[in-house]
Amino acid sequence: MKKVEGVESVRVSLNRGEALLGLKPGNSVTVERIRQVVRDNGFTPKDSDVEIVGKVVERGGKAALAVSGPDVVYLLVDHRHATGKVQKLWKEAREKEVVVRGHLPETATKGRAVEPRILEVRDFAQAR
């Protein structure tokens, strides 16, 4: 995975079945690209816990996160353990840059993104 442009560091635990990636600032790496690399190496990608920087915007009357590097927009929904986070995010950070910590469910599309992309919000903070 270190060969993927924008990936700065990789830590893999085969015992736990997980990889921790550090990305370079300003990267344009997508989760779909990482999942495709995982498939290409003979493994099955799973859901991803992520920390994503983007701007809180409205899409179709709903809160969304626009990520400029890879030009991706995620529809924001509450994570099952963080009820009310999206409403709070919308109220406090509309049209502002934020860091969202959340969960991206795996989609069985073999590298193609499913629209809309869903980001389950656990927490957020103002970007610096």
At 17, the pLDDT band (50, 70, 90 cuts) reads confident
Range of the domain at 84: 7-126
In a domain, 24, yes or no: yes
pLDDT in tens, 69-123: 888 999 999 999 999 999 999 999 999 999 999 999 987 555 566 678 899 999 9
In a domain, 122, yes or no: yes
* Domains held by the chain: number: 1
In a domain, 87, yes or no: yes
In a domain, 119, yes or no: yes
pLDDT in tens, 18-39: 899 999 988 999 898 999 999 9
In a domain, 2, yes or no: no
CATH number of the domain that 103 lies in?
A: 2.40.50
In a domain, 1, yes or no: no
Contact 47, 56 (CB under 8 A): no
